[in-house]
Amino acid sequence: MIVNRPHGLAILFRESLPPLFILTLWDFVVVILFQIYHQDWMEQPSLPISLMGTALAIFLSMRNNAAYNRWWEGRTLWGAITNNCRSFGREAATLLGGRPDLARAMAAYPHVLRAALRGDQPNEDAKRLLSPEMYEKVFSCSNTANMLLYQIGLGVREEVELRGIDGAVHGTVDRILSDIANAQGGLERIKNTPLPAQYSMLPEIATHLFCIILPLSAVQTLGWITPLGSSIIGMLFQMLDRSGRDLQEPFIKSVHALPMLTMARTIERDLLQPIGDTPPPAIQASNGVQP
């Protein structure tokens, strides 16, 4: 996730260079054909392209709002996971009499979850925090994050039975695990339910088509400065389209995705420090991007 504005502007500018170059090149082709070779078929009225631009702007705004809602919902659910993981660590110490192994397992949970959301292989963070037995059980299942919660729940039940802890206390801890599972389900729903094709594909196609037609309509008025005006307008529409495409998949490896590694490391540090373990250093932003 981009967290530094100057670096963010530089990243957006670099991402905009390829389409800007293509648009400018096409605009030069159009203006040369019209000004030098006097192609009559290029004398297109401006009204259709104006109406098309207005409709496209509305269409892109609707898609971008839907994409941002997905991105922000993912961030909200990760916030719920963060809070509940901290609560579990506190209650494991105060209500269950310690159990640092359960605190470490919960510290591994966000790492397991982020790897599952991105489709990555088991990471070293989970291997470092989980016992070999639990690690083997967790990664023998297809839904590793859910299996880890299951194993933590079994550990809680074991401690409750061993210490004769009241059932109400057990219910309090189990409710936290249920809230984490609910948040995980929301994240999996976002991952497994892409935007409909009407929102994900049609805006991109319509934007490219608009940028192709735009100089044909502008060249009559702008003449030799068509590449300047047409490229800037086309670039704005391209950036609107790109913004929506960047936000609609909040878990992929991208500078625009959620900073899941940072959030997972924050949870890990918050759980390990109270039990006396030395946590790894916090994740710092690199070149304006928080991973």
The predicted-structure confidence for 196-238, as pLDDT tens digits, reads as follows 888 878 888 888 888 888 888 887 777 788 788 888 888 888 8
Give the C-alpha distances (Å, rounded to integers) separating 71 from 7, 61, 66, 195. Answer: 21, 15, 9, 12
Confidence (pLDDT) at 42: 66
Please write the tens of the pLDDT for every residue from 27-48.
Answer: 888 888 888 777 666 666 776 7
Confidence (pLDDT) at 217: 81
Give yes or no for residue 13 having a pLDDT over 80. no
Least confident segment among 7-16, 84-93, 133-142, 155-164:
7-16
Confidence (pLDDT) at 82: 96
Confidence (pLDDT) at 113: 96
Three-state helix/strand/coil letters over 30-89: HHHHHHCCCCHHHCCCCHHHHHHHHHHHHHHHHHHHHHHHHHHHHHHHHHHHHHHHHHHH
Confidence (pLDDT) at 10: 78
Q: Which residue has the higher pLDDT, 22 or 109?
A: 109
- Report the greatest alpha carbon distance in the chain: 92
Give yes or no for residue 88 having a pLDDT over 90. yes
Confidence (pLDDT) at 41: 65
Mean pLDDT, the chain, whole residue set: 87
Confidence (pLDDT) at 202: 85
Please write the tens of the pLDDT for every residue from 259-281.
Answer: 999 999 999 999 999 998 898 99
3-class state of residue 131 by DSSP: coil
Q: Residue 237 corresponds to which tokens in the numbers above?
A: 């529409």
Q: Region 249-254: what's the mean pLDDT?
A: 90
Give yes or no for residue 122 having a pLDDT over 80. no
- Going by C-alpha positions, the residue among 213, 237, 232, 205 that lies closest to residue 44 is 213
Please write the tens of the pLDDT for every residue from 129-163.
Answer: 999 999 999 999 999 999 999 999 999 999 888 88
Confidence (pLDDT) at 250: 92
Confidence (pLDDT) at 267: 95
Q: Which residue has the higher pLDDT, 263 or 56?
A: 263
Give yes or no for residue 246 having a pLDDT over 90. no
* Length of the chain as a residue count: 291
Least confident segment among 19-23, 38-42, 176-180, 199-203:
38-42
Q: For a pLDDT cut of 90, what percent of the chain falls above it?
A: 38
d(CA 130, CA 112): 11
Confidence (pLDDT) at 178: 95
